[in-house]
C-alpha cells in the first residue's frame, strides 16, 4: 500500500504542476533505451530541438509557448500506452509515437479521446483514408507508397522491365515489417518479378540463417523493412556474404548514418529511401544558436543534421504548421487537440513556406484533405558513400504507385470501418 500512497502523492504534484500553465502541450513519446534507441534518439532530439528553437526564437507558435513532455516508451507498446495515458490529461495536442506497434494501440484510444495522431511514414497505412480514420494522419508518405517508390525505381533502373527478376524482402517480423508485403505481392503480380519475403524476429540481432538463405537463392535485389539494431546487423551480414550493396535497398527507416557506419567500407553503396532531403539547411544554424549554444540541446546534442534528426525536425515542423493553421481557422492562439485536427486536415505545405522556414525542399509540397490524410507519397533514393561518410541523394522525388495502393487502402480501411462500426464520412465537429 505504501507504493500506492507514494504514487498518489507524486501524481497529484505532477498534475498540479501540469494544470497551472496554459500553453501548447507537445508530448514526445521517445525511446532512448533498448534495441531501437539508435533510431529513437536522433528523431526525438530533432523533434524537441526544433520546438525548443520555436520557443526561444519566436516565443512559441502564434505567441503561445510550447511545452514538451518527454516520455520514454522503449519502443514497447505497454509503456507507450502508459505514456499516452499519463500525458493526455495535460492537454496533449498531437501524438507522434514513432512506432507502428504503439500506433496500432493508440488509433482507437486517440480516436475515442479526440486527439490527433500523426504517424509520419509509419503506422497504419490505410489511415490515409481520412473518412474512416478521422483522427489519424500519416502524411507525407506511407509504407505502401515506399514499396511503390522502390519498385518504380527498380523499373527505372531496369529499363521498365522486372520480368523474371528475383526480389527478396528482409523484414522486421512485426506489424511494421509486414505492412509492405501486400503491396509488393500486388506489384510482383503486375510486373512479373519473383517476390520472396524473409522475416527477421525482434530485435533482429540474429540474422545468419536469413542471409544464408539469400546467399543460396541469389536474389537480384534485396529490400529491407528494418529498424533499430536490425539494420546494422543486416548491412553487416550483407557485406559478409558479399551481396552487391547497390542492389540492397532499405526503406526510409533503414537508412541513417548509424545503420551503415558499423559495417565500415562494407556498407559502401548501400541504398535507402528517404522522405526528406538531406544536407545542410539554414534552420540548423538557428537551432545551433537558440538551442544548442544556450545549453538546451535535447540528448547530447551530437545528432544535429543527421538523417533521422532532420526527419524528427521535419515532423515538428509539420506539427507547427498544423497548429498555425488551426490557429488561423479558429482565430484563437490557445488551440485544443480538436482544433489541431482541423488544422492538420487543412494543412498545405508549399515550396515557398518550406523555404521561409529555412528548410527548402525538405519534403515534397503536398496538401491534406478530409479524404486524403496520406499526403503525396513521394520519396527519394539515397546512397551511402563510405569514404566520405555521407548519404548522397541519387534521384529526385519519385512517384509511388497510387494505382496499386489506393484500392488496397480502400479495401483495408473499409474492413476496419466494418469491424468497428464506422460510417466513413468527413469529420464534422
Partner 1 sequence: MFYREAGDFKTSYAADNQTFPIAFDRYRYWVVLAIAFLVMPFIINDYWANALLIPFLIYAIAAIGLNILTGYCGQVSLGTGAFMAVGAYSCYKLMTAFPDVSILIHVVLAGGITAMVGAAFGLPSLRIKGFYLAVATLAAQFFLVWLFNKVPWFYNNSASGQISAPERFVFGVPVTGANTDAWAVYLVCLVFVTGSAIIARNMTRGSMGRKWMAIRDMDIAAEIIGVNPLRAKLSAFAVSSFFVGISGALFFSVYLGAVEVGEVFGINKSFLVLFMVIIGGLGSIFGSFAGAAFIVCLPVVLKLIGVDLFGWPPDLVAHFNLIIVGLLIMFFLIKEPHGLAQLWRVAKEKLRLWPFPH
Alpha-carbon distance of 208 to 120, in angstroms, equals 31
- Among positions 56, 175, 338, 393, the unique one binding partner 1 when judged by CB under 8 A: 175
182 versus 271: smaller Cβ distance to partner 1: 182
Alpha-carbon distance of 346 to 403, in angstroms, equals 24
30, 44 contact by CB (below 8 A): yes
- For residue 189, state whether it binds partner 1 (rule: CB under 8 A): no
- Which of 103-111, 277-285, 288-296, 356-364 is the region at the interface with partner 1 (rule: CB under 8 A)? 103-111
Considering only residues 384 through 413, tell me which ones interact with partner 1, judged by CB under 8 A.
Answer: 412
- For residue 10, state whether it binds partner 1 (rule: CB under 8 A): yes
Considering only residues 267 through 326, tell me which ones interact with partner 1, judged by CB under 8 A.
Answer: none
- For residue 88, state whether it binds partner 1 (rule: CB under 8 A): yes
104 versus 427: smaller Cβ distance to partner 1: 104
199 versus 346: smaller Cβ distance to partner 1: 199
- For residue 90, state whether it binds partner 1 (rule: CB under 8 A): no
- For residue 48, state whether it binds partner 1 (rule: CB under 8 A): no
- For residue 330, state whether it binds partner 1 (rule: CB under 8 A): no
- Which of 48-56, 179-187, 279-287, 356-364 is the region at the interface with partner 1 (rule: CB under 8 A)? 179-187
Smallest separation, CB 185 to partner 1 (Å): 10
Name residue 194's beta-bridge partners: 166
- For residue 97, state whether it binds partner 1 (rule: CB under 8 A): no
Taking Cα atoms as reference points, which of 324, 349, 340 lies closest to residue 58?
Answer: 324
Considering only residues 410 through 429, tell me which ones interact with partner 1, judged by CB under 8 A.
Answer: 412, 419-421
**Please, which contacts does 387-390 make with residues 24 or more away whose CB atoms are closer than 8 Å?**
387/265, 387/268, 389/257, 389/261
Biggest distance spanned by C-alpha atoms of the chain:
70
- For residue 14, state whether it binds partner 1 (rule: CB under 8 A): yes
Smallest separation, CB 237 to partner 1 (Å): 20
- Among positions 62, 86, 361, 365, the unique one binding partner 1 when judged by CB under 8 A: 86
Taking residue 286's Cβ as centre, other Cβ atoms within 10 Å add up to 19
- Which of 8-16, 271-279, 286-294, 369-377 is the region at the interface with partner 1 (rule: CB under 8 A)? 8-16
Considering only residues 198 through 217, tell me which ones interact with partner 1, judged by CB under 8 A.
Answer: 199, 201-202
- Among positions 78, 352, 371, 396, the unique one binding partner 1 when judged by CB under 8 A: 78
- Among positions 48, 52, 76, 138, the unique one binding partner 1 when judged by CB under 8 A: 76
Q: Which residues contact 388 (CB under 8 A, 6 or more apart)?
A: none
Smallest separation, CB 176 to partner 1 (Å): 8
Phi and psi torsions of 229, nearest 5°: -65, -20
- Among positions 77, 247, 306, 383, the unique one binding partner 1 when judged by CB under 8 A: 77
- Among positions 56, 62, 105, 324, the unique one binding partner 1 when judged by CB under 8 A: 105
Interface residues toward partner 1, by CB under 8 A = 3-4, 6-7, 10-11, 13-14, 17, 30, 32-33, 37, 70-72, 74, 76-79, 81-82, 85-86, 88-89, 100-101, 104-105, 108-109, 111-112, 124-125, 173-175, 178-179, 181-182, 199, 201-202, 412, 419-421
Amino acid at each position: 500500500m505504501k507504493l500506492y500512497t507514494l504514487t498518489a502523492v507524486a501524481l497529484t504534484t505532477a498534475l498540479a504542476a501540469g494544470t497551472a500553465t496554459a500553453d501548447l502541450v507537445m508530448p514526445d513519446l521517445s525511446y532512448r533505451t533498448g534495441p531501437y534507441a539508435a533510431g529513437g534518439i536522433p528523431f526525438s532530439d530533432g523533434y524537441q530541438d526544433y520546438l525548443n528553437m520555436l520557443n526561444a526564437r519566436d516565443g512559441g507558435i502564434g505567441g503561445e509557448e510550447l511545452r514538451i513532455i518527454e516520455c520514454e516508451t522503449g519502443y514497447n507498446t505497454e509503456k507507450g500506452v502508459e505514456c499516452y495515458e499519463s500525458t493526455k490529461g495535460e492537454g496533449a495536442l498531437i501524438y507522434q509515437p514513432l512506432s507502428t506497434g504503439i500506433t496500432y494501440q493508440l488509433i482507437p484510444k486517440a480516436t475515442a479521446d479526440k486527439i490527433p495522431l500523426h504517424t509520419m511514414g509509419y503506422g497504419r497505412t490505410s489511415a490515409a483514408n481520412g473518412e474512416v480514420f478521422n483522427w489519424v494522419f500519416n502524411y507525407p508518405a506511407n509504407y505502401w507508397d515506399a514499396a511503390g517508390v522502390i519498385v518504380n525505381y527498380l523499373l527505372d533502373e531496369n529499363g521498365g522491365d522486372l520480368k523474371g527478376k528475383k526480389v527478396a524482402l528482409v523484414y522486421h517480423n512485426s506489424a511494421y515489417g509486414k505492412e509492405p508485403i501486400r503491396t509488393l505481392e500486388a506489384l510482383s503480380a503486375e510486373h512479373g518479378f519473383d517476390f520472396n519475403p524473409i522475416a527477421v524476429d525482434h530485435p533482429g540481432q540474429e540474422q545468419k540463417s536469413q542471409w544464408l538463405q539469400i546467399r543460396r537463392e541469389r536474389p537480384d535485389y534485396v529490400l529491407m523493412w528494418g529498424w533499430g539494431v536490425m539494420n546494422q546487423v543486416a548491412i553487416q551480414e550483407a557485406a559478409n556474404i558479399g551481396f552487391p550493396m547497390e542492389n540492397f535497398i532499405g526503406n526510409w527507416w533503414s537508412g541513417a548514418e548509424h545503420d551503415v557506419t558499423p559495417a565500415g567500407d562494407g556498407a559502401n553503396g548501400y541504398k535507402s529511401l528517404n522522405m526528406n532531403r538531406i544536407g545542410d539547411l539554414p534552420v540548423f544554424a538557428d537551432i545551433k544558436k537558440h538551442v544548442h549554444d544556450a545549453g538546451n540541446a535535447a540528448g547530447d546534442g551530437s545528432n544535429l543534421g543527421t538523417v533521422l534528426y532532420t526527419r524528427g525536425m521535419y515532423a515538428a515542423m509539420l506539427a507547427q504548421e498544423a497548429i498555425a493553421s488551426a490557429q488561423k481557422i479558429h482565430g484563437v492562439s490557445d488551440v485544443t487537440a480538436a482544433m489541431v485536427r482541423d488544422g492538420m486536415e487543412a494543412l498545405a505545405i508549399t515550396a515557398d513556406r518550406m523555404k521561409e522556414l529555412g528548410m527548402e525542399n525538405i519534403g515534397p509540397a503536398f496538401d491534406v484533405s478530409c479524404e486524403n490524410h496520406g499526403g503525396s507519397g513521394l520519396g527519394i533514393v539515397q546512397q551511402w558513400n563510405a569514404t566520405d561518410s555521407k548519404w548522397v541523394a541519387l534521384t529526385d522525388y519519385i512517384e509511388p504507385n497510387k494505382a496499386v495502393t489506393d484500392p488496397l487502402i480502400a479495401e483495408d480501411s473499409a474492413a476496419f470501418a466494418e469491424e468497428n462500426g464506422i460510417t466513413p464520412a468527413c469529420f464534422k465537429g
